[in-house]
Structure 1
Amino acid sequence: MQKKWFALALVPALALAACQKVDDPETSMALPEVAAPELSLDTMRDITQELSSDAYEGRAPGSAGEEKTLALLTKKFAEAGLTPGNGDSWFQDVPLVEITAKNVSDLTVKGGSQDMGFKYGSQMVVTTYQEQPKIDVTDSEMVFVGYGINAPERGWNDYEGVDVKGKTVVILVNDPDFGTESLEGEFGGRAMTYYGRWTYKYEEAARQGAAAALIIHDTAPAAYGWNVVESSWSGPQFYAQSANGGADQTKANGWIQKDVAAKIFASAGQDLEKMMAAAKNKDFKATPLGVTASMSFENDIDKMNSKNVIGVLKGKTRPDEYVLYTAHWDHLGRCKPADDGDDICNGAVDNATGTAALVALAEAHVKAGAPDRSIIFLAVTAEESGLLGSKYYADNPVYPLKQTVGGVNMDAFGMAGPAKNIVVVGKGKSELDNYLEAALEVDGRVAEAEPTPEKGYYYRSDHFSFAKLGVPMIYFEGGEDLIDGGREAGEAISKDYTENRYHGPKDEFDPEWNWDGVMADLKVYYTVARMLAMTDDWPNWNEGDEFRDIRDKSRAGS
């Protein structure tokens, strides 16, 4: 998934500081006093280096890299003083199917002013959710469906008046409000909604009966370049096992380059830019393009049980109330080679760092003694394949969600050095913001809302699997306002990571990394969860938030 790379300021005094007890009359919330201890830099550095070494082959689910990751994590969890979190086992099986496309044909488009063919990898990528050895999409009519959204509660339906059964729908990435300056609009203004995510677009295309769904890649609204699409969508793809083997899904899901889409539209006598502008309006009507698409490929199919890793620190007074830490241990395995031939996507920042943090935090919490509530340390699989491991746990919780107080998600610690701020993805959604602000108050740092809500980070990491089932989760990252160089330097480092390392073979461990911001960040993660584990409050989503009603019903036992 897409992560932005931020860094936190290192403030040595934090090690000795405590969060002041705060009584908030509006929320009736008492925040306990919690000291932030020293955490182990050696643990963070050593585990990050180990997990991202070539020996782990990119930590793909079902690989030898998974076996090594599981062995390392269980060893380190036990050494930290945790106990197995699923009865006598450290593991929760997550049933997955691995589908690897091979012998992929060109995407051929016929019926316009000229017949065209587009190459797999450089111009298009395609996969399937169906467990079929061969996929054929032949002379399928192409229909432009704008943003591919059917949202009756918003009075918006891009599929209204058109039958796309058996056809290939062409879809824009993000949602119609992309580019809006404010946070007001049909789809949250500049902030992306779930309707803007590729996962939703494929889900809706399948509900409409489409044979294939192709998203037009555009770097700004997608929030990443074509290199990320190509490396992420080629090679083995993982999906949740289903009873019908994906028979209710489209035959093919994929992406096409924007210039490819422009050529297809021009051949069909249409102007892509004008059609994109029209799709932003509620009165947009889906447009048959008068051309057909064909593509075919074979699939290697392998069913497996990947594993979530669960450790627990039992609470001393209320052990049946739970605080959750999440981080994903998986990455992409082998991917498109870099120019030097390196084809291992090591995933050092994303997310060997977050996985190492689970261990470092476990060490610190155990050393501090059992808190009142139990703390669950959950390392999930298959985040990179669509949050599959966290979704499976949320749907099949080892510890009941209605007894889960809340949680903290960790996904990619940056190495830019000290900064003055941190960034909260989804700031203002829940009362957990109060815990974070108390943890930050001692050193004068500030929590800021994400600067680019249009990129939809809230829907791209494992906290979302729990949030949509009502569990309050907070997800924050280091800031870009660096002490050395300010925002300009921070933005440059973030851009460099996204363009040159993110989801590619060069996200590798670097012995010269500056860990100062990481370790300050880690203390905040410690403090927020420790406060949750020591209070008797049950923080909720803020009034009016989309997840508030789900939580209220869960807590009421309905």
Structure 2
Amino acid sequence: MSEGESSIPLPEVSAPELSVDTMTSITEELSSDAYEGRAPGTAGEEKTIKLISERFAAAGLEPGNGDSWYQDVPLVSIEAEKVTPLAITGGSEDMSFAYGPEMVVTSYQEQDSIEIADSEMVFVGYGINAPERGWNDYDGVDVKGKTVVILVNDPDFGTESLEGEFGGRAMTYYGRWTYKYEEAARQGAAAALIIHDTAPAAYGWNVVESSWSGPQFYAQTANGGSDQTKANGWIQKSVAEKIFASAGQDLAEQMAAAREKGFKAVPLNTKASVSFDNAIGKMDSKNVIGLLKGKTRPDEYVVYTAHWDHLGRCKPAPDGDDICNGAVDNATGTAALVALAEAHAKAGAADRSIIFLAVTAEESGLLGSEYYAANPIYPLSQTVGGVNMDAFGMAGPAKNVVVVGKGKSQLDRYLEGALTVDGRVAEAEPTPEKGFYYRSDHFSFAKLGVPMIYFEGGEDLIEGGREAGEALSKDYTENRYHGPKDEYDPNWNWDGVMGDLKVYYTVARMLAMTEDWPNWNEGDEFREARDKSRAGN
């Protein structure tokens, strides 16, 4: 038992049969071309939220926001148009790089047009300012009005252990692109360009190009994003190598130097120019919320989360298909919310209330879940904990489940209890360097203190073992993830998914039937927020 963990026994819960028909029919429907990739603010959203709310009602839930199924999430849509090539001058040769295959760029600022003109370029390593770790890549350099060039991930990437300034091989939030743009803005940079590198990014350039083309969604702000950088983007590693060579620098040498404490930013003595127009729109997208009210402690809540959105239309595949259908990511998770709602409602009310939350704009930076967490319908201090679901793999039954963030909270005990029925084991994610903990909706709740668990079907397959599981995972990431070919396949094997779904049911049902209040483990980064939240309750 972990230090501080409750001695309250786990409730005995038996998972019922869950509906594979619900899973297949909703996944197929939501990922059909008729939904056009489920981008926020489109006709695809209207169809999506209507389907979810209707299925929640049919399952026996009640509307989760008073008499409404919906929570408005104010968003702004900004799409870069007429993007000029990225021009680099001042080095040994003038260069130009094309939008799409060599670089992508967008803006967080609500301005009709953006121009970066002859902006001095500075390499700032990993772009991290972390006083608590004694690390500041911006120390001694003024980047106001300049273009900063940044490495993806954090300085410990590539180490084998989980020991180091930034958690060793496990990515910290400092390694995420969202943080890097945030810090660049705080430093006053005019533009921020992240160097794409497949291994530390955890996805190929195809994912960057498809994800960053088309409308980009951001939370509406009172100042219209005026405190943000004018332009944010990515450049191919091969592009960065050319820029550095023109500046008389070696990219590989500078990447190695950036991993060392005390790294000093390097002026590249080159200038960047790029311009584009912005197509701007404002909207209220929707979170969909259903509630199964508890019978004895209805003011205590357990939450399920899954995001309903995807990328909409994106870079076409070679066959011309330009709809990013998002079948696995995350029509499957949305279908799971409905299947679980059906099962819990059929079993009858638990002691605690259960929230079923389908959030918008996850693909744009967890915006829907972040909005709910900042504006909760049900108090976070009264939210016991929850389970996040994001993309069910179709590899078949496995001997394990993979926990993203294993060892962080006392919810691990509930998962391990749920797995004892069929003898499976919970394992830590094999690739913590990919930063999955910061890439899905549980993070929005976690950083405000609510214990959340996020796990997926494992790769140690009953048929084929780890080799087969890893091959299937790699195939999905390289050929379908965030692309037009993440489509429904009527030949999918749902056996593994349905086994995983029983675990999702059992974990949440146990939480809803106990008097326990699980916490983050002692020393975890989110423990203080939870303790303060509960103390003020």
TM-score category of the 2 structures, normalised to the smaller one: over 0.9
Instruction: Return the alpha-carbon distance in structure 2 between the equivalents of residues 234 and 446 of structure 1.
Output: 40
Letter of the aligned partner of 2:195 in structure 1? I
Q: Which residue of 2 aligns with 1:3?
A: none
Are positions 1:533 and 2:512 aligned together?
Answer: yes
Q: Which residue of 2 aligns with 1:169?
A: 148
Instruction: Return the alpha-carbon distance in structure 1 between the equivalents of residues 422 and 327 of structure 2.
Output: 29
Are positions 1:279 and 2:258 aligned together?
Answer: yes
Q: Which residue of 2 aligns with 1:58?
A: 37
Q: Which residue of 1 aligns with 2:483?
A: 504
Instruction: Return the alpha-carbon distance in structure 2 between the equivalents of residues 483 and 538 of structure 1.
Output: 35
Which stretches in structure 1 are left out of the alignment for 5+ residues? 1-21
Contact 2:5 2:410 in 1 (8 A): no
Runs of 4+ with deviation above 6 angstroms? 22-25
Instruction: Return the alpha-carbon distance in structure 2 between the equivalents of residues 556 and 477 of structure 1.
Output: 32
Contact 2:3 2:522 in 1 (8 A): no
Matches within 5 A, 1:535-550: 535-550=514-529
Are positions 1:361 and 2:315 aligned together?
Answer: no
Matches within 5 A, 1:395-474: 395-474=374-453
Contact 2:121 2:270 in 1 (8 A): yes
Q: Which residue of 1 aligns with 2:92?
A: 113
Which deviations, in whole Å up to 9, do the C-alpha atoms of 1:181-215 show, x marking residues without a partner?
Answer: 00000000000000000000000000000000000
Instruction: Return the alpha-carbon distance in structure 2 between the equivalents of residues 303 and 389 of structure 1.
Output: 15
Which deviations, in whole Å up to 9, do the C-alpha atoms of 1:321-362 show, x marking residues without a partner?
Answer: 000000000000000000100000000000000000000000
Instruction: Return the alpha-carbon distance in structure 1 between the equivalents of residues 11 and 470 of structure 2.
Output: 35
Which deviations, in whole Å up to 9, do the C-alpha atoms of 1:69-89 show, x marking residues without a partner?
Answer: 011011100000000000000
Instruction: Return the alpha-carbon distance in structure 1 between the equivalents of residues 341 and 388 of structure 2.
Output: 14
Q: Which residue of 2 aligns with 1:149?
A: 128
Matches within 5 A, 1:364-379: 364-379=343-358
How many residues of Structure 1 are paired with residues of Structure 2 in the alignment? 537
Letter of the aligned partner of 2:429 in structure 1? E
Matches within 5 A, 1:157-556: 157-556=136-535
Which deviations, in whole Å up to 9, do the C-alpha atoms of 1:108-165 show, x marking residues without a partner?
Answer: 0000000000000000000000000000000000000000000000000000000000
Q: Shift in Å at residue 23 of structure 1?
A: 13
Instruction: Return the alpha-carbon distance in structure 2 between the equivalents of residues 100 and 430 of structure 1.
Output: 39
Contact 1:142 1:167 in 2 (8 A): yes
Which deviations, in whole Å up to 9, do the C-alpha atoms of 1:459-514 show, x marking residues without a partner?
Answer: 00000000000000000001001111111100100000000000000000000000
C-alpha change, 1:23 and 1:96, in structure 2 (3 Å) is: closer
Instruction: Return the alpha-carbon distance in structure 2 between the equivalents of residues 25 and 335 of structure 1.
Output: 48
Instruction: Return the alpha-carbon distance in structure 1 between the equivalents of residues 325 and 424 of structure 2.
Output: 32
Q: TM-score, normalised by structure 2?
A: 0.99
Letter of the aligned partner of 2:535 in structure 1? A
Q: Shift in Å at residue 25 of structure 1?
A: 9.1
Instruction: Return the alpha-carbon distance in structure 1 between the equivalents of residues 110 and 528 of structure 2.
Output: 36
Are positions 1:122 and 2:101 aligned together?
Answer: yes
Are positions 1:41 and 2:20 aligned together?
Answer: yes
Classify the secondary structure of the residue corresponding to 2:397. Answer: coil
Q: Shift in Å at residue 442 of structure 1?
A: 1.6
Q: Shift in Å at residue 418 of structure 1?
A: 1.1
Q: Shift in Å at residue 443 of structure 1?
A: 1.2
Q: Shift in Å at residue 28 of structure 1?
A: 2.1
Q: Which residue of 2 aligns with 1:7?
A: none
Letter of the aligned partner of 1:251 in structure 2? K
Contact 1:24 1:30 in 2 (8 A): no
Q: Shift in Å at residue 447 of structure 1?
A: 0.2
C-alpha change, 1:132 and 1:79, in structure 2 (3 Å) is: same
Which stretches in structure 2 are left out of the alignment for 5+ residues? none
Instruction: Return the alpha-carbon distance in structure 2 between the equivalents of residues 28 and 207 of structure 1.
Output: 45
Contact 1:23 1:29 in 2 (8 A): no
Classify the secondary structure of the residue corresponding to 1:48. Answer: helix
C-alpha change, 1:241 and 1:141, in structure 2 (3 Å) is: same
Letter of the aligned partner of 1:286 in structure 2? A
Classify the secondary structure of the residue corresponding to 1:366. Answer: helix
Q: TM-score, normalised by structure 1?
A: 0.95
Instruction: Return the alpha-carbon distance in structure 1 between the equivalents of residues 241 and 532 of structure 2.
Output: 48
Classify the secondary structure of the residue corresponding to 2:9. Answer: strand
